[in-house]
Structure 1
Amino acid sequence: MSTVLTIGADGDLVERFAEASGGDVVALGVEALADGGLLGALAAPDAPLLVVLGAEVDLDESFAVAGNVDVVAPSTSVVVVAFADPDLWMEAMRAGVRDLLSPHATPADVAAVLTRATARAEARRAVLAPVPGSAPTRRVVVVASPKGGVGKTTVATNLAVGLAAAEPGSTVLVDLDVQFGDVASALALVPQYALPEAVQGAASNDPLVLKTFLTRHPTGLQVVPGSDSPAAGDAVTPADVARLVDMLSREFRYVVVDTAPGLSDHTLTALERATDLVLLGSMDVPGVRGLRKEMDVLGELGLLPRGRHLVLNGAGSGGGLALEDVEKTLGAPLDVVLPRHDAVPLSTNTGVPLLEKGGKDPVTRGLQALVQRLAPHAAAPRGRGRRKAGAR
């Protein structure tokens, strides 16, 4: 396919892109968006470097197309032709648009857009390319806990955001708490589709269709939000979960699964496919004992994956327990210990994950340490925390 694909752009702009790309341009009318064949073409290995949505394409439709292209062809940049203002820029970036271009763009403006798209594509292809001589690493990371209220969704969303930042286009987060999942709230998302839609119809067996049902977070993370009602969530079966996780694991390097408390059939189905388990507990006697029981049960079922990461959340000195006591009860060392900190409720209430915001607080450093256990090349946490603020 061409280097540049324009849709609904005027002749002058097409000519400027032709000059900038050495003539490697295909120009289509807006009718190209009508039959749905565009996404199929973009999913091919020879997808264009740049898709330019001209002034003839409605802005809302442009943003919808950009979100789908960002999932189907992560190395393809989408440019929308429009007069920009700060609000429009924000909306465009959230939709997956990489550049806004004035209808009166000069040849220099066009060349700059093409240069940025080229750099972006090279960076993404370098990140997602397999290491020579080895198979690409595909990891299904299940985040689980024996009881609720221990910060499981906070850890899952931050872990997914951190992995998405480490490897753009690599990560999808699934909210598998089918009745009361709140991943969308934790990420301040207003999704168009949720888990039940993602496991029904054509989306249940066609990865291209499935990707159009994902919700994109501003960090580039893709999300399968939880059901918007318990009744709808009850319609999701373990077989649905199996198909969904299997399909996503073929399309994304990291599939992070946030589960309901305990060991539901949905959670056990996800664990059957897990390469990694992040098992989360709280620093109190019931929490530690529950964690030990869950470890024992999973061991008996043969569902403890080789990649096991024990995380203790809400650590502090006021409960009468020491970390050594916790580890003795568990019969295993803790991998990451997260202390109590005021940054956590603020993050939860604003819908901005700590790893999206960045910071030097000990919880952020601890979460970054967890990301590094799965993606060792991820940026190291800033500062030196005590052992309770990160990996042990």
Structure 2
Amino acid sequence: MEDVAALYRSSAILTEASALKEQVTAWRRDFHRHPELGLEEERTAEVIAAHLRRLGLEVKQGLARTGVVGVLRGSNPGRTIGLRADMDALPIQDQKQTSYRSTIDGKMHACGHDAHTSMLMGAATFLAKMRPPERGNIVFVFQPAEENHGGARLMIEDGLLRDYGIEAMAGLHVFPGVPTGEITAVRGVSCAAADTLFIRIIGSGGHAARPHQSVDAVAVAAQVITALQHITSRQVDPLDSVVITIGKIEGGTASNVIAPEVNLWGTVRTLNPALREQLPQQIERMVKGVTEANGAAYELEYQQGYPSVVNDVSMIDLLLEVADDVLGRGKYRMDRPSMGGEDFSYYTQHVPSVFFRLGVGDEQHARYPLHHPMFDLDEDALPIGVALLSKLALTYLGKS
């Protein structure tokens, strides 16, 4: 394998990473067959840890319950960069008819975390088989529970950044809307803060034939849902992105019974931190006004979830430099922020970080979006991810 200096001078790293495609694909398909939900990734963690030990890395298990960390130390002291992959699957039934479809009912890698894990294993393999970096350290972070428990926050609380002296973080997410061989990234705020909302509308039940003798919680809930959209369209600066979505409604028992209560669950997504702080009060003011006007009462719970992913400008510049070398000029696009949530955001709050989208789109394999029961990806993208993560780490350390 070529030495580090040669890899800095050319895109040979992609050629070398391509030699790992068969192995990385095999890992990805194995994880796809055996999906595990957040904080349950015990089999996945054992497969990862065993491989990292075979590579001769320092390995620690148990951060955030099922997290795995591997460390590749350079020949001399220097900076330390962390490369992160998430491991968890989703509670979705896999509807694909492939040899590697999920073998576990109701669980599926529908967000590409199996690919993220496999590519980082590939990067660890590639970097461990080279001579050690001249200076600095690379920490391979296999993180649980991105989808629902904030595994990144749990890893940090368990000492990940502090104990390993991580000074920068990098991560990627596969994306079927971007062609294979290309990437997209965002300067600054990249993903939205994602908060959760619960509202209980409290009326008084009765007979459907005599609505004037009751307070119809269903009718009030309908007005509340409509009123919440007036916040986004009439009370927020149109240049500030915000989404308020009620995704679940529960209430009523029969067609001829006026429901005494209705429960609403929703999500609130923002890019502006100041607006994020204002919205709970605006939402409660609206709910209170509608319910009082109709003689109903309410209960409201608002919980802040993942903060926004904020890409560091210097780390974005590093990514673009690496992309030019590995993929060729013009293979990246500066994109708009996403309203999706991502717990990589917790890393960005502590150290300069970069998070980008890796194209996995082709007409045959990537016809469905993330979180779809038919989701799949173009496995030709796997060695590209290996090469980009590896080169990012080497280039970062080379600038120290």
TM-score, structure 2 normalization: 0.21
* Higher RCO structure (Cα 8 Å, ≥6 apart): 2
TM-score, structure 1 normalization: 0.22
Name the one with the larger strand percent: 2
Name the one with the larger helix percent: 1
